Structures are given as C-alpha cells and as structure tokens.
C-alpha cells in the first residue's frame, strides 16, 4: 500500500513552564522548580464565546481548546473537505476535576443538585469533540486513553489516518487536568510521587514523579497538500509504534523489554535504523523503576555510544496523558532552534543505571535529525513516534 508523507504545520502548548510555544521553549531552559506543577495563570475565557460555555467544559477540555487555537493559528488556513479532516486528542484520565466536584455536590447537597453537564464534561472524549466542533472538522473524531502513553498514541493514530489516505489533516495531541485533591492523594499514597516534590529524571536520587497538568496539540497534514497551500512545514512525522509489556499494572517489564520492542518498531516504521536517530526524547519520569528500565532499553537499542537523551519532565513535571504531546512539541521546537534543552533536575549519575548520554547543564547545540520520542504508561502501554526535520 502506498503511503503519504505527513507534515507538522502547527503546534500549541499549555504547560506549567509556559503558555504558548515560545514561553514553553524558554521555560524548558529554566532551573527545575519545586512542588506540584499546577498552571495557576491559565484563563479559559479567551477560548470561548461566553463564560457560560467555559463553565460547561472541564479544565482538560479548556486546555485542549487553548492549545489547538495556537496550533491552528500557526498552521494557517487549511481549507479542504471537512469530512477528510479529523481530530484525535488523547487523555489519561479525562474530566477528573468535574467528577470530583460533582461527587461532593451529590454528597453535600443531594442528587437533584448534580450538574446535568456532568457526563459530557467528564467523558474522556470531550476534548476531541470540543475541538472538532470548534473547527467544523467532520472526519474521524476519536480519543486514546492509555494512561501516560495517550498523547504519543494519539499522535501515532492521527499520523496513520493521513499516511494511509483516510484524512488530509488531523488536529492531534493530548490534554490532562487531574490535579484534584483526591487525584493527588491517590498518586501520593501509591508512592509514585516524589516525597520531596522534586523531579530528577535519571538522577541517582530520584524518588518519584511530580504531578503536572497541561496540553499539547499538533496539526498534521498530508505533505503535498501542505506544500501546495504554501504552509510552513515545521517538521515531518516519520513513524509510530505501539505495544504492551503485558507484565504489571504499574511497573515496567524487566530490562525494559517492551520499550525495546516498541522503539525498534517505531524506527523501522520510519524506514530508519538506530544509527539514524539523532536524539531520544525520553519518557524519563523520575521514578526509580521507569528511569532504570528506560535507560537499559535505550542502551539495548542504540548500544553504548547512543544518541543524546533528554527528559523535559524535570521542568514540566509529569502531566500523565498530556506528557507525550508536550514532548512532541518540545522535539519540534528543538528542531526549529537547533538545540536540545537540558534534563533539568539531573545532578548525579546513577552508577547502577545504563550509561546513556543525558543532556545536562544549559542544554546542547544540535544538528537536527530524526528523533525518537518515548511514552510508557501504567498498564504496560508503550508508544513511540519518530519525528524528523522538515526537508
């Protein structure tokens, strides 16, 4: 089956380290902050026709609409047949803020006071639906809900819609807003969160992730159509893969076996070999097991002299289902700026970890090349995509 090239023509970000791609890129070079990564300064009202509509959207949907607005503005007028334009927005948890608020309403005020908008606000597909309605895109409108791999899986699925000829353009990415009191308590009590609230990917003293929220959105288009309309092509999506550890609900498979297989499949899907990969954007959550397994997997795939490795979670924290999309945007920005951001929070190499080339300090100048971006989620969900510079 013949396949089509897939261009990235727009990106948008709502992140704890910056609202909008320029602020986000600047924030990735800032020192690692302390504490939970809540986006305190976000105002949803500019992205809605009226305050009532904003109140009837969960925070994760608000984030998705805001990031999509920036990405679509960057992409410029796309035109075309709306039935061949799709939306695929992932999330790990969906409208947890709405659910928790309305459970309290039910408990304190009774069933009759529960909002009639509870279900359409909390459902995981609400963000995809809202984006499709905002832009009138009538093609496939779907949602991937695979924990921390959701963003990367959604981008991979959108990529295949275009590559295989079903769609000419897709708005894709992921969004998460799960920083409710109960959500925080759940992650804390399962000991996944850092006790010190410091995110230190791959560091010897890492002790868990720091919970975050946010959204990343990319506009994907058929390459020839994007060129024909004079779009600025930011990067090219080259390959994608997905598999499962089939091992444990939270722990990675020993030695990162599932991650190894997924990385190799994504690289092969891009028509490349490991020697072609110029950078690995790691999942790198700052948990002891995940980072060790991922480092081992990277060394297995690339050998002892592999490409430079970064994790942006030292700055952004771990935004669960939104992480993969935020990291895909970071990869595109690295290509646009010919530089790799540092792995903030990394200070001391772990002598028991595979000796991968972790980018530290103030970052590193870089000649853009094919980049592998990894996401590994609870449940054993693995996702990898390969992004290349526009050429």
**Does 148 qualify as catalytic in the annotation?**
yes
CA dihedral 284, 295, 331, 388 (to 10 degrees): -150
| The pair of three-digit structure tokens given for residue 59, joined into one six-digit string | 């925070």
| The pair of three-digit structure tokens given for residue 234, joined into one six-digit string | 């930011």
In order, the DSSP letters of 205-263 are: T---B-BB-EEEEEEEEEHHHHHHTT----EEEEEEEEEE--S-SSSPPGGGHHHHHHH
Which residues make Cβ contacts (< 8 Å) with residue 50, sequence separation at least 6?
none
13 with 321: CB under 8 angstroms? no
**CA-wise closest residue to 170 among 63, 10, 58, 322:** 10
From residue 205, give the alpha-carbon distance in Å to each of 31, 140, 141, 259: 17, 44, 42, 23
**Does 29 qualify as catalytic in the annotation?**
no
**Catalytic position from the list 17, 145, 148, 167:** 148
| The pair of three-digit structure tokens given for residue 95, joined into one six-digit string | 């409208």
**Catalytic position from the list 153, 279, 318, 381:** 318
Which residues make Cβ contacts (< 8 Å) with residue 329, sequence separation at least 6?
11, 12, 13, 21, 24, 173, 216, 218
**Does 248 qualify as catalytic in the annotation?**
no
**Catalytic position from the list 17, 262, 279, 283:** 283
Q: CA-CA distance, 59 to 47, in Å (whole number)?
A: 12
Q: Which residues are catalytic?
A: 148, 283, 318
């Amino acid at each position: 089956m013949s396949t089509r090239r897939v261009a990235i023509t727009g990106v948008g970000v709502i992140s704890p380290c910056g609202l909008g791609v320029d602020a986000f890129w600047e924030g990735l070079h800032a020192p690692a902050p302390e504490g939970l990564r809540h986006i305190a300064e976000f105002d949803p009202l500019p992205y809605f026709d009226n305050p009532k509509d904003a109140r009837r959207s969960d925070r994760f949907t608000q984030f998705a609409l805001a990031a999509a607005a920036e990405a679509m503005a960057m992409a410029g007028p796309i035109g075309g047949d709306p039935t061949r334009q799709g939306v695929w927005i992932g999330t790990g948890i969906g409208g947890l803020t709405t659910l928790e608020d309305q459970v309290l309403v039910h408990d304190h005020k009774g069933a009759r006071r529960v909002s009639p908008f509870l279900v359409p606000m909390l459902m995981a597909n609400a963000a995809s639906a809202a984006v499709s309605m905002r832009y009138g895109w009538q093609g496939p409108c779907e949602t991937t809900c695979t924990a921390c791999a959701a963003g990367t899986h959604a981008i991979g699925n959108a990529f295949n819609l275009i590559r295989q000829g079903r769609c000419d353009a897709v708005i894709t990415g992921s969004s998460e807003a799960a920083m409710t009191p109960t959500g925080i308590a759940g992650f804390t009590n399962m000991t996944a969160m850092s006790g010190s609230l410091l995110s230190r990917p791959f560091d010897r003293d890492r002790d868990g992730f720091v919970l975050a929220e946010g959204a990343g959105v990319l506009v994907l288009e058929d390459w020839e159509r994007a060129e024909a309309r004079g779009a600025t092509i930011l990067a090219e999506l080259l390959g994608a893969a997905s598999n499962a550890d089939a091992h444990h609900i939270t722990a990675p498979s020993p030695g990162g076996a599932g991650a190894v297989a997924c990385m190799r499949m994504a690289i092969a899907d891009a028509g490349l070999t490991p020697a072609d990969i110029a950078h690995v954007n790691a999942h790198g959550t700052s948990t002891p097991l995940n980072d060790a397994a991922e480092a081992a997997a990277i060394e297995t795939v690339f050998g002892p002299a592999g490409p430079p490795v970064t994790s942006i979670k030292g700055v952004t924290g771990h935004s669960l289902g939104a992480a993969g999309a935020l990291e895909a945007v970071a990869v595109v920005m690295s290509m646009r700026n010919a530089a790799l951001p540092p792995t903030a929070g990394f200070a001391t190499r772990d002598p028991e970890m595979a000796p991968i080339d972790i980018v530290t300090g103030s970052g590193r100048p870089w000649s853009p090349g094919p980049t592998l971006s990894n996401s590994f989620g609870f449940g054993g969900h693995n996702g990898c995509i390969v992004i290349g510079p526009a050429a």
